[in-house]
Structure 1
Amino acid sequence: MVRTDVLKKFKKDVLALEESGEKRPILLSFTTDPYQPLDVKEQLTRKAIELLHDHGLKVEILTKGGKRSERDFDLLSKNPELSSYGATLVFTDENMRKEVEPNAASTFERIESLQKAHELGIYTFVSLEPVWDPIQTLEIIDLTHEFVDLYKVGKLNYNKQNKNVDWENFRETVITKLDKCGNSYYIKKSLREF
């Protein structure tokens, strides 16, 4: 079911943010994907990006949608100073990805979308969280570091399996790898605490 009033309410929020002089990017979206299959028809995400850009506000896209998200690259590349595009990447093992992220685009489709965004001059980032398997996380960095501007890394919490991971060593390995590659990164609090 589509909420018909969502853009009207969003526009009120956009106007208030513009009036306040907000400089931080508006994230679409951490708790739900902005490129769900339903949005192919409704294009609410596209309309939201247009509203934000029309009012000089920055937008940060975070998605597992892969190619579905590419339809808005024209908007993001027209306003690169107001836009960034990111993908959540957790697995290189496609069987694990299908089990944990059954409705998401494949990891490699998301990687291709990141590369395309980068080639269009859009600032790119990867959310490497939650880290399920440190080895796969390091593989993702190897596959993407040439076209990703920023990595955000956070561990998987509340999972008994991950009690066997040496998180301090993993954190230091990630930092060393990203420093060597020359990428910017942000280590989330859950991983900094070790």
Structure 2
Amino acid sequence: MQNENIIKGQGAQRNVINRFDKYTFEPEDDDFELEKTSFTEVFPKTIVNQVKSEDLPMEYSMNPYQGCEHGCTYCFARPTHEYWGYSAGVDFERKIMVKKNAPELLEKFFQKRGYQPAPILLSGNTDCYQPAERKFEITRKLLQVCLDYRHPVNVLTKNALVLRDLDILKPLAEQNLVSVSLSIPTMNEEVRHTMEPRTSTARNKLKAIEILSENKIPVHVMVAPVIPGLTSDESLNILKAVSDAGALGFGYTLVRLNDTVEPVFVNWIEAHFPDRAQKVLNLIRSMRGGKLGEKRYFERYKGEGNIAEMIHTTFKIGRKKFFDGKEFPKLTTANFTGAKDQQLRLFD
């Protein structure tokens, strides 16, 4: 039986304590309310981040938004909101910082003397096609800059809104400059609707894969995170569905609940799935050396124990069964101009 105080349409049910705050406010048990989303413009000096993690394949990433309206309860980026003085809970999905100057910053980055192009991941932290993108169109402008300079870009999102920008993605794909990765951790709508409440449905994501593939835009899928006892039994079905829709490759990660992600997720699963909450949490602990989180490079993706090994084996089977013979293209850097190609402008 679900908690009657659950706030629908919101992943985190309340703010959790900011690790860096000296003073904290503890709400009463009945102090529940749906918060409205607010947007604050910020003015970063750079938009491209160099990725220094040893176990990540990309060299650069960029994030047009800080915080994410999608509200995914497991999101590893939640603790980054604490550096801004906010909570990793409700604040992360309701107080969004917007980087309107991102396109100009990207142009300056491309124009740096001696810059050697490498594919940039859009985004590596929060989702570049979260609902705010409908209003601000920063991601669309960033893609246009990549097209202007013929620079490769990998797009990662949970939102079918990516289809809005087909008119830019298609000419990028014609020059082997873009790929799109869609994240599909579950096809169970009950789980998705509560776990990542403002993402696109799995059905809409599958449709997006079909349309992108029909337009010769290479599609990759992230089955992430895999949560034992909650979504892990769906893995093969997801791989078959995305392969049939046209995806050329996939990746996956095991769930990890680091820092203040832990109380957000624990509160969520106890509220929405009280009958299996402890089972799921114990299964996660069995993969994480008795803890719910893992920060060590490589180990954070590998996990340990029988449950982790079963998940890895399942994906090995799925790769052989549904992706045998498929090859995901490597983007080219050979077309980079170092200066804006005015002939490629679709609009101003």
- TM bracket (short chain): 0.7 to 0.9
What's the CA shift for 1:78? Answer: 1.3
Q: 2:190 aligns with which of 92, 95, 104?
A: 95
- Aligned match of 2:200: 105
Instruction: Flag structure 2 segments of 5+ consecutive residues without an equivalent.
Output: 1-39, 42-98, 258-280, 288-305, 329-348
- Aligned match of 2:110: 14
Does the 8 A contact of 1:33 with 1:63 survive in 2?
A: yes
CA distance in 2, matches of 1:6, 1:77: 22
Structure 2 residue matching 1:166: 3-state secondary structure: helix
State the AA in 2 paired with 1:161. Answer: L
What's the CA shift for 1:85? Answer: 0.8
- Aligned match of 1:127: 222
Structure 1 residue matching 2:154: 3-state secondary structure: strand
The normalised TM-score by structure 1 is 0.85
Q: Structure 1 pair 99/122, CA: closer, same or farther in 2 (3 Å)?
A: same
- Aligned match of 1:188: none
Higher alpha-carbon Rg: 2
- Aligned match of 2:164: 71
TM-superposition CA deviations, 1:24-71 (whole Å, max 9, x none):
x211112111112222122111110111121121111111111x2101
- Aligned match of 1:116: 211
CA distance in 2, matches of 1:90, 1:14: 34
Q: Structure 1 pair 76/19, CA: closer, same or farther in 2 (3 Å)?
A: farther
What's the CA shift for 1:19? Answer: 4.2
CA distance in 2, matches of 1:151, 1:85: 11
CA distance in 2, matches of 1:48, 1:36: 15
Q: 1:45 aligns with which of 126, 139, 142?
A: 139
**Higher strand share goes to which structure?**
1
Does the 8 A contact of 1:14 with 1:52 survive in 2?
A: no
Q: 1:137 aligns with which of 223, 232, 235?
A: 235
State the AA in 2 paired with 1:46. Answer: R
RMSD across aligned C-alpha pairs, in angstroms? Answer: 2.0
Of 121-130 and 160-169, deviating more is: 160-169
Q: Which has the higher contact order (CA 8 A, sep 6+)?
A: 2
CA distance in 2, matches of 1:56, 1:21: 13
The normalised TM-score by structure 2 is 0.49
**Higher helix share goes to which structure?**
1
Percent identity at matched positions? Answer: 22
TM-superposition CA deviations, 1:134-174 (whole Å, max 9, x none):
21122111111131111011111245333386221221221
Structure 2 residue matching 1:85: 3-state secondary structure: strand
CA distance in 2, matches of 1:79, 1:177: 30
Does the 8 A contact of 2:150 with 2:172 survive in 1?
A: no
Q: Which portions of structure 1, spanning 4 or more consecutive aligned residues, are displaced by more than 3 angstroms?
A: 158-161
CA distance in 2, matches of 1:79, 1:8: 19
Does the 8 A contact of 1:151 with 1:184 survive in 2?
A: no
CA distance in 1, matches of 2:145, 2:157: 19
